[in-house]
Amino acid sequence: MSLDDFTFLCRTKIGFGMNSLEHLPFDLSSMGSQKPLVLLDKDAKFGSTRPLIRAFKESGMTLGICPHLPRDLDADKEIEFLKTFYKLYIDKGFDAIIALGTGKVVDLAKALNIAVTLGPDALKTGALKTGALKATDLPRVTQPLAPFAYIPTGMGTGMETDTIARFKGKRFSSPFLAPDLAIIDPQILTQDTFDTLINAGLTCLSVCCEAHVLSGNPPARAYCATGIGLIMENFVPLVSQMIASQEAPNKKAVKKLDTKTAKRHLARLAHASVITGIIMTNCRGLLSIQLGKHLANHCTASPGQAMAILVPAILDLMANKTELGNLALALLGPDEFSLLPKPQRPGAAIHKIQSLLNELYRICRGTSPRTLADTCLDKQAISDLAQALFSQSEISGTECQDIDPKQVQAILTHALDGRSKDRAYQNLS
């Protein structure tokens, strides 16, 4: 592996396993906190807060718990909740923030941390998400914030441990926005919804696979390999178990029987999503993210599904064969990898990602797409869509790859039916 110039940042301490919550009071107190405030995800139930309360019971610390966020949290409600939480934090003298959940609650926690540390006016200077916006254009928080802990209740998409915060259509960038602590404890995990799990799992797999091959960042590749291993071992088994539980005649018996297995899978997937956020911080401009999130607006796939469909095409069209072959080790595992002749390894890596999408299609009864053709995307729209995605996405001058509209069109053509690189480019001539 060639060692080019790179930087790598990981400022989040990860605690994993049963009773890892018991260490949280000590970790927060070591950062000077004695009175943390907890923000709750819309899906965080009393069963999730009870272990957290128990962990602080004999700590001598005061734990404040905010009301749950609603499911339909639009921009106006987001502002109202932030004002309420800000007043509570300041008036009651809280000194740290805990985000319990995934997604929007973490963004709101990051925004609250900016407000209580730098003042509410600091949130007015965010960069609007309009047009092509590079990471270098984002306003930066340049000083440490209050201690911030993230406790997932399910699998996130990685944005939770990234150094980006999104609030009211704006984005803020700073290393200080990453959580100081990420605590993954199986006892606090709740069942993800099916769609949430599919989107999160495929998002994390896409990020890890692309960064492993295209980032040129050796420490990030090590994280990617770990994340890929966790996803490949636990993602499909958990999805299969959820479907079996939903379709079983005696659903309660099946859920009770497999609770420990499901939580073990989910805990490892939550770990993979924490790792993914760290990768996102160090590998900006991944094409799967930049193209996939906009492609989802033009078809029936979720952003994660769109990313996973595009990744084989991106890697096939743009990757060095040696690096693509190395990805096969993470995807296949050492036993299967060792049986492959070296020339077959790049193709095996591509095939493994596509096989996972095919398997999801099977166990999900055709509701999870394998290709762009499964998302009701019209072949005739590929050319115009490629130009639109190029103009909408932040891919000009990315850290991983430079790309032009014709290459975007080749990626979409490849992903339309999973065709090989040569056939994708041949279609453009």
Instruction: Considering only the C-alpha atoms of the chain, give the largest distance between any 2 of them, rounded to a whole number of Å.
Output: 71
Residue 129 lies in a domain: no
In a domain, 4, yes or no: no
Structural domain ending residue among the three candidates 188, 206, 222: 188
Two structure tokens written together for 218? 């050796």
Say whether both 154 and 280 belong to one domain. no
Predicted local distance difference test score (pLDDT) of residue 144: 93
In a domain, 284, yes or no: yes
Is 422 contained in some domain? yes
How many C-beta neighbours within 10 Å does residue 152 have? 30
Give the containing element (helix H, strand E) for 368.
Answer: none
Q: What is the pLDDT of residue 135?
A: 44
Beta bridge partners of 97: 37, 148
Q: What is the pLDDT of residue 429?
A: 43
Considering only CA atoms, give the Rg of the chain: 22
Confidence category of residue 21, pLDDT binned at 50, 70, 90: very high
Q: In whole angstroms, give the CA distance from residue 46 to residue 327.
A: 41
What is the span of the domain harbouring residue 319?
194-426
Phi-psi region of 184 (alpha: psi -120 to 50; beta: other; left: phi over 0): beta
What is the mean pLDDT of the segment spanning 396-416? 77
Q: Are residues 178 and 206 in the same domain?
A: no
Residue with tokens 């036993």: 335
The confidence band for 251, taking pLDDT boundaries of 50, 70 and 90, is low
58, with CB counted inside 10 A (0-12, 13-18, 19+), is exposed
Q: Which two tokens stand for residue 13?
A: 């301490």
Are both 160 and 68 inside the same structural domain?
A: yes
Do 96 and 40 touch, CB atoms closer than 8 A? Answer: no
Q: How many CB atoms lie within 10 A of CB 124?
A: 9
Both 364 and 271 in one domain: the answer is yes
- Do 325 and 382 lie in one domain? The reply is yes
Give 268-325 as a 3 state SS string. HHHHHHHHHHHHHHHCCCCHHHHHHHHHHHHCCCCHHHHHHHHHHHHHHHHCCHHHHH
> Where residue 416 sits, what CATH number does that domain have?
1.20.1090.10
**410 assigned to some structural domain:** yes
- Closest by CA to 213, choosing from 319, 363, 110, is 319
**Three-state SS at 173:** strand
Q: State residue 403's pLDDT score.
A: 80
| CA 100 to chain centroid | 16
- Specify if 132 maps to a domain: no
User: Are 333 and 227 members of one domain?
Assistant: yes
Domain assignment of residue 5, yes or no: no
Last residue of a domain, one of 130, 157, 188: 188
From the DSSP assignment, how many helices (H) and strands (E) are in the chain? 15, 9
Q: How confident is the model at residue 376 (pLDDT cuts 50, 70, 90)?
A: confident
Task: Return all residues near 169 (Cβ < 8 A) that are at least 6 apart.
Answer: 75, 128, 129
422 or 409, higher pLDDT: 409
Q: What average pLDDT does range 265-292 have in this prediction?
A: 95
> Residue 43 pLDDT more than 70?
no
Three-state DSSP at 97 gives strand
Percentage of the chain beyond pLDDT 70 is 86
Q: Residue 164's closest CA among 177, 180, 151, 148?
A: 177
175 and 244 in a single domain? The answer is: no
- Please indicate, yes or no, whether residues 219 and 243 belong to a single structural domain of this protein: yes
Indicate if 163 and 249 belong to the same structural domain.
no
Same domain, 357 and 376: yes
Distance CA 32, CA 170 (A): 30
- Whether residue 110 contacts residue 173, with contact meaning beta carbons closer than 8 Å, is answered with no
Rounded distance between C-alpha atoms, residue 207 and residue 279, angstroms: 8
| 227: enclosing H helix or E strand | helix 218-247
pTM, entire model: 0.91
Determine which of 118-132, 192-206, 281-295 has the lowest per-residue pLDDT on average.
118-132
Interval 142-171 mean pLDDT: 93
- Choice among 96-110, 236-250, 297-311, 325-339 with the minimum mean pLDDT: 236-250
Smallest CA-to-CA distance from 153 within 197, 206, 114 is with 197
Q: Are 44 and 68 in contact (CB under 8 A)?
A: yes
Most confident of 181-190, 271-280, 390-399: 271-280
Please name the amino acid found at residue 155: M
Q: For the segment 175-222, what is each residue's pLDDT rounded down to a tens digit?
A: 999 999 999 999 888 867 889 999 999 999 999 999 999 998 999 999
Q: Please give the Cα distance from 45 to 191 (Å, whole number).
A: 11
The kind and range of the H/E element at 181 are strand 181-184
Could you report the per-residue pLDDT of 294-315, keeping only the tens digit for each? 999 999 999 999 999 999 999 9
The answer to whether residue 287 sits within a structural domain is yes
Residue 134 predicted with pLDDT over 90? no
Give whole-number Cα distances, 193 to 99, 198, 266, in Å: 19, 9, 12
For residues 208 and 147, state if they share a domain.
Answer: no
Domains of the chain: total: 2
Same domain, 365 and 405: yes
Which percentage of the chain shows pLDDT scores above 90?
64
**Last-in-domain residue among 148, 165, 188:** 188
- Residue 172's CATH number: 3.40.50.1970
